[in-house]
Amino acid sequence: MSNIAAIIGGGVIGGGWAARFALMGWQVRIFDPDPEAERKIGEVLDNARRSLPGLSDTALPAEGAITFHAELADAVAGASWIQESVPERLELKQKVYASLLAAAPSDAIIGSSTSGFKPSELQEGTSNPGQIVVAHPFNPVYLLPLAELVTTAANSAETIARAQQILRAIGMYPLHVKKEIDAHIADRFLEAVWREALWLVKDGIASTEEIDDAIRYGFGLRWAQMGLFETYRVAGGEAGMKHFMAQFGPALKWPWTKLMDVPEFTDELVDLIAGQSDAQSGQYSIRELERIRDNNLVGMMRALKHQDYGAGALLNETDKGLRDQNGTVQDFPDIDDLTKPIETVSRAVPLDWTDYNGHMNEAKYLQAFGDATDRFMWIVGCDAEYIATGGSYFTAETHIRHLDEIQAGERIRVETICLNGQGKKMHLFHQLWAGDRLCASGEHILIHVSLETRRPSEPTGVIPQRMAAIHDAHAALERPEGVGRYVGAPR
């Protein structure tokens, strides 16, 4: 299978798909007759480069090339995934599919970003309906992981499995909707909330800002990590879901909503809502709002990641897949050459690592070095399994030099040298790089301890042999500038 994705239609959604695929290492070919497509997608890509890599705590693949093509056939040549994101007009989409099926590889999966049409409608009258599925994402596609994968009997089990595998490989969550319905699953919820919001504004009950406040300060936060039913299960207390439904079931007969009725979309209503929206957030440009949105999403999703819950659990799964791609040398995981400093961290700086000065917070330098130490411990055999037997390393002393500032989205790496690996002592020197800039160094001394006595103890298992091998190899390296430096010493 080639790692080539063709994007047909480069608007907000198509641009998001392009950024997601490219930043996950795919070659991306774009077909869009809009003369502004390259500029627009470039701006989306800039935002994605700033935010998406920061969701991962390991290195993403090298960014794939993005090319623009004047002919549809050139864009889809050799592609294994084709994403259609043209306007929501069924006759237009079916016309596009006719051209795609005539030019695309016969095993390419054609995903549609449609938010409303059923896959059977898209497949109707086509030469190979089994290639076409709905893969409905949410904006921004490069951050939000959900893709509603809607299929029909025309799609083989192999096609469905391959579609799921590809979406997961680029960090998305393929929610397989096995029974098609207009607007799939998620947009039906959004439509219900949207209709009720229109009535609340029209009837003068609430403004656009007050409705948004009700969501973002209340149930929106709960939904982000537990969804609807799990949230209500908790609301039922110790008695659980049955108690909740018994308590609130009668409310279904009360006239709380107007979901079956829609206010007339008059010019007056449109002007009212547009005016309130301008007052609410008109001081920001669209690009500024996108960056605010991305900052918030990354922070929330990283918090979920630490809890291994909701979207955070998917991010951890994606990180594990990326780490599993790394190779091994001899008996040492993730080491290419023992005679060189060991790369113990490779990642992008997430948005929530920056401070009021707009650069990486000083505490995050320590986190980067702490992550490097943890990785080195894992390399020499002090992993979770070993720690469970009652041994580990405790940090005894740390000295960090801050040499240069680092911005959000920059790719950093930490190179580690083992200065001493004999007996109970682990003496490491980390250097943090952004490209060819040395931005910080960290010198750390750790002592092996017994977790039972909490006192120093000799390491066991493979640790002594691995530590000795790395120590001996690194002894031949030039001693880095800054080793042994004390606070305030002249450079």
Q: How far is CA 273 from CA 189, 191, 262, 264, 283, in A?
A: 21, 16, 15, 13, 16
β-pairing, 4-8 vs 27-31, is parallel
488 is in an annotated binding site: no
Q: Is 10 annotated as a binding residue?
A: yes
How far is 352 from 364, CA to CA, in rounded Å?
Answer: 10
The verdict on whether residue 193 carries a ligand-binding annotation is no
Residue 339, SS3 per DSSP: coil
Q: For residues 285-294, b (16+ Cβ closer than 10 Å) or e, as one string?
A: eeeeebbeeb
CB atoms within 10 A of CB 403: 15
Helix (H) or strand (E) holding 445: strand 437-450
Q: Burial letters for 316-339: b for 16+ Cβ neighbours within 10 Å, e otherwise?
A: bebbeebeeeeeeeeebbbbeebe
Tell me the helices (H) and strands (E) count for the chain, helix number first. Answer: 17, 16
Q: Known binder of ligand: residue 9?
A: yes
DSSP 59-76: PPPPPPPEEE-SSHHHHH
CA-to-CA dists, residue 179 to 115, 118, 176, 199, 329, angstroms: 15, 10, 9, 31, 48
Label residue 33 exposed, middle or buried (CB < 10 Å: 0-12, 13-18, 19+).
exposed
Distance CA 335, CA 327 (A): 8
321 is in an annotated binding site: no
User: If you search the block for the tokens 């190779």, which residue do you land on?
Assistant: 327
CA 431 to chain centroid, in Å, comes to: 27
Question: Which stretches of 107-185 are DSSP H helices?
Answer: 119-123, 157-169
Q: Is residue 275 marked as binding? A: no
Contact 198, 163 (CB under 8 A): no
Quote the CA–CA distance of 65 and 4 in Å, as a whole number. 10
Distance from C-alpha of 115 to C-alpha of 136, rounded to nearest angstrom = 6
**Token digits of residue 364:** 């995050």
3-state secondary structure of 405: coil
| Cis peptide, bond prior to residue 140, ω within 30 of zero | yes
**Binding residue numbers:** 9-14
Annotated binding-site residue numbers for NAD(+): 9-14
